[in-house]
Amino acid sequence: MNLTQFEWVFQMESDGNGVILDVRTEEECNDGIIPNAINIDIYQGQVFIDKLEALDKTKNYYVYCRSGARSEKACAVMNNLGFKNAFNLLGGFLDWDGEVVSPED
């Protein structure tokens, strides 16, 4: 499901079962990440699928990439793998105006 930044943040902040998932490359993450995000690079193919399979499918996933296209695909993959709730951030990190931290924080 696609959500605007306002909807994504509002829903995530009131979600006690939410996980933020960043599907960008490591190089992109070096420019900053949304706080508490887990990075799993969608370009890793089967490794990406394997890492998704290791996640708790009962949680709600708030997914983003650079512009929203890869994260939309990631949400579709997650739905096909049995994840019930995967929410795509429309506009991605490019349009994000919330807090940003370095990946090491």
List, for residues 30-81, the tens digit of each pLDDT value.
Answer: 999 999 999 999 999 999 999 999 999 999 999 999 999 999 999 999 999 9
Averaged pLDDT of the chain: 96
pLDDT recorded at residue 104:
76
How far are the Cα atoms of 23, 35, 59, 85, 89 from residue 103, in angstroms, in the given order? 13, 9, 22, 25, 19
Residue 39 is assigned to a structural domain of this protein: yes
Residue 100 is assigned to a structural domain of this protein: no
The CATH number for 39's domain is 3.40.250.10
Q: How many domains does the chain have?
A: 1
Residue 58 is assigned to a structural domain of this protein: yes
Residue 10 is assigned to a structural domain of this protein: yes
List, for residues 2-34, the tens digit of each pLDDT value.
Answer: 999 999 999 999 999 999 999 999 999 999 999
Residue 103 is assigned to a structural domain of this protein: no
Residue 105 is assigned to a structural domain of this protein: no
Catalytic residues: 65
Q: Is pLDDT at 103 greater than 90 in this prediction?
A: no
Packing angle between helix 69-80 and helix 46-53, nearest 10 degrees? 60
Domain residues for the domain of 44 are: 2-95
Residue 102 is assigned to a structural domain of this protein: no
Query: Which one-letter DSSP state was computed for residue 42?
Result: G
pLDDT recorded at residue 82:
97
Query: Which one-letter DSSP state was computed for residue 44?
Result: G
pLDDT recorded at residue 100:
96
Instruction: Note the pTM of the prediction, 2 decimals.
Output: 0.96
pLDDT recorded at residue 105:
60
